[in-house]
Chains A and B, each alone.
Chain A
Amino acid sequence: MALSHLSSTRSNRLLRPLAAAASSLCRPISTSTEPLVIETSIPFTPHKCEPPSRSVETNPQELLTFFRDMATMRRMEIAADSLYKAKLIRGFCHLYDGQEAVCVGMEASINKKDCIITAYRDHCTFLGRGGTLLEIFSELMGRQGGCSKGKGGSMHFYKKESGFYGGHGIVGAQVPLGCGLAFAQKYNKDENVTFALYGDGAANQGQLFEALNISALWDLPIILVCENNHYGMGTAEWRAAKSPSYYKRGDYVPGLKVDGMDVLAVKQACKFAKEHVLKNGPIILEMDTYRYHGHSMSDPGSTYRTRDEISGVRQERDPIERVRKLVLGHDLATEKELKDIEKEIRKEVDEAIAKAKVSPMPEPSELFTNVYVKGFGTEVFHS
């Protein structure tokens, strides 16, 4: 496994190479783009289609990017937990830690003209689409620097220019909306697709099947992605679904079951799905994933699952640990280098939080803006 020694010219991803590496093997972190082929943890399980190969093409730079992106998301969500407990974040806060491989793997296979729409567990998806830590923490704390100027909150992040359409609080609603995005892409004759993400809880929603039927009839370039973390709030999948094989629930629509904790499997599946839907209409991807936190910050997450189960997944299947092992195993970086990346991330996150904490709340006049695009503002009632 001869690996290249050259360092990338992309400065924003590089560590301070000299000081850190001085004491270890004097080889800087590998960020080469030499292809590397890695097998997914388990094969894909298909429904009415030929599954893609288990061998995924990647490269050292991509693997390190995966590590950095997922570690950033992990750190961000843990920090949000603390902010919520400190009452700096109010209302709802649904954390994604454990599920990072899904949005990171997806981003690796698509571009910003492809669209993503998801439900309320959207902080990491937004970050993956190009959002910044400062925008995220500002929005969570209701400040005017937030991505929705403080008017949306945790569940309502959007980034239209990078194809991220939110951020939706009503379970299941995002699926027909996503099919509508795909409709528009087809109408405009873009060669782009939409990924509509939903959970195992939302998978039973009627409107999902209504939209899927129409999408299949009209051959819309839509990929339904069930992020199956096995619990719809506090209800385990076997208590909510007669058939928890969500990748088969499309019946006449093909599906694929994917290990959602394996970022390379996710990347491969999304690449396959994009090619598929541009030719053949909808497909369903079921990502077998897991959330370490409860449903939201008001749910301890341990009344309906055992602590052993949670720690078991963390030990056996954690997506970041898997990539760490791959990176170390292929000698792409040292343990210390990875730890340094994590330290750097922690610092970035802390800095963003500190900045967001002192940033201003929206002006009172913002109460009445953006109700309409055009005219009239809002109705004014005598107080």
Chain B
Amino acid sequence: MWGIVGQRVFRHGSSAMSLQGTRPAILASRSFSSAAKEMTVRDALNSAIDEEMSADPKVFLMGEEVGEYQGAYKITKGLLEKYGPDRVLDTPITEAGFTGIGVGAAYHGLKPIIEFMTFNFSMQAIDHIINSAAKSNYMSAGQISVPIVFRGPNGAAAGVGAQHSQCYASWFASCPGLKVLAPYSSEDARGLMKAAIRDPDPVVFLENELLYGESFPVSAEVLDSSFSLPIGKAKIEREGKDVTITAFSKMVGYALKAAEILSKEGISAEVINLRSIRPLDRATINNSVRKTNRLVTVEEGFPQHGIGAEICASVVEDSFEYLDAAIERIAGADVPMPYAANLERLAVPQVEDIVRAAKRTCYRSSSLAATA
């Protein structure tokens, strides 16, 4: 099922510049281990946080239920036992308070990882993320840097209703001073989490609850404790030549499925896993569109002022003459998330929506009707 992804994982892993890699990739001896080990996204995140806490005593973890409960989604399992209550701190249910405390600790030089049980609750603390964290290095002309990571599940889960299902990628990604990452696979989760923790700037790390349990193959290089992925680089998960499909987080999986379906109909789709929402890898996206001449952007969040809107603008600005068709934008429905299962299904993008949109860009479908 993930065979293609497995190949990509190995190839990209070996050419990616590890930000602080000290061990040269010994490719020859590893060439047959590319798909051997599998790891869930949950374990990938846990191991990345564990390794970074082990490597740097300034790194600490703070959030609701991260310690004794082992993490609301078990991402921080075992860490309290290993590092003790001075470094793994259970907080009261007071996001504004503990986020501010985390940012203040970062001002002083510690490296906090602040968990939001979901990013819906980050709204209680968003002033600290934007005004206290993102802008400080600029306002102080470099005196006060904020090496903090804000992490947690983002976007829709299953049946959790309107207040627990919003995607905050575009809100955070519009703010200069923040870096915004969205992993898809376990390799992404490990590499981007390590990069985020090591990064001296504030990073918003958008996970996805439904991906936590999914397994992906990981190479030995990915498993190495010095592994990390560069921030600001997208990954071409599947190469193609007819249409570019951009996606992040869970939608990457959907895009890959759509690409499989499209390939059976003679359409070769190139799937780009954004990995980094801010900075956005405009170069990779534009190069791909210049090759395929068609673009479908996919995201789970609300359509207006979303990630797809930004990608459309970027491509129109940089690669207008290369477009052979209007850009298609697939997003969640412009409604608060409903609870009923059938309505919920209509409110989030499905694989068929992506397939239909890709076909429209290839003029294979005469219908220009809206997605659902």
A-side interface residues toward B, CB under 8 Å? 115, 117, 148-152, 156, 158-160, 165-170, 173, 175-185, 187-188, 206-207, 209-211, 213-215, 217-218, 369-376, 378-379, 381-382
Contacts and interface: CB of A to CB of B under 8 A. Distances in A.
B199 A374 contact: yes
Nearest to A168: B132
A117 B60 CA distance: 23
A305 to B, nearest CB: 30
Contact of B101 (A165, A169, A179, A378): A179
A184 B105 contact: yes
A115 B232 CA distance: 35
Interface in B166-181: 176-177, 179
Interface stretch (B21-29, B33-41, B134-142): B134-142
12 contacts: A152-B141, A166-B140, A169-B131, A180-B103, A180-B106, A187-B60, A188-B110, A207-B96, A207-B97, A210-B98, A373-B145, A374-B199
Contacts of B127: 170, 173
Contacts of A373: 137, 142, 145, 147, 200-201
Contacts of B110: 183-184, 187-188
A214 to B, nearest CB: 6
B176 A184 contact: no
Interface stretch (B86-94, B152-160, B258-266, B344-352): B86-94
Interface in B280-313: 280
A175 B100 contact: yes
Nearest to B138: A370
Given A375-B231, A375-B232, A184 B108 contact: yes
A158 B132 contact: no
Contacts of A151: 138-139, 141
Interface residues of B, number: 48
A173 B231 CA distance: 29
A173 B92 CA distance: 18
Given A152-B139, A210-B96, A374-B199, 13 more contacts: A151-B139, A152-B140, A156-B140, A160-B107, A165-B104, A167-B140, A170-B131, A173-B132, A176-B128, A180-B106, A206-B96, A207-B97, A373-B145
B129 to A, nearest CB: 11
A371 B138 contact: yes
Nearest to A169: B131
B324 to A, nearest CB: 22
B231 A213 contact: no
Contact of A370 (B94, B96, B141): B141
A255 B65 CA distance: 31
Contacts of B60: 187
A211 B232 contact: no
Given A184-B104, A372-B177, A176 B145 contact: no
A378 B105 contact: no
Interface of B: 60, 86, 89, 91-92, 94, 96-110, 127-128, 131-132, 136-145, 147, 176-177, 179, 199-201, 231-232, 278-280, 317
Contacts of B94: 207, 210-211, 213-214
A152 B131 CA distance: 13
B139 A173 contact: no
Contacts of B141: 148-152, 369-370
Nearest to A376: B279
A306 to B, nearest CB: 35
B201 A214 contact: no
A165 B103 CA distance: 12
A15 B91 CA distance: 55
A372 B137 contact: yes
**Top 5 closest pairs, chain A to chain B, by CB:** A180-B104, A176-B100, A210-B97, A184-B108, A210-B94
Given A210-B97, A214-B94, A180 B105 contact: yes
Nearest to B95: A210
A177 B103 contact: yes
A179 B176 CA distance: 26
A210 B177 CA distance: 26
A187 B137 contact: no
A193 B98 CA distance: 19
Nearest to B140: A158
Given A180-B103, A214-B98, A373-B200, A173 B128 contact: yes
A179 B104 contact: yes
A192 B110 CA distance: 16
Contacts of B144: 158, 160, 165-166
A167 B101 CA distance: 16
B274 to A, nearest CB: 14
A298 B328 CA distance: 50
Given A180-B105, A183-B104, A211 B97 contact: yes
A194 B139 CA distance: 22
A176 B101 contact: yes
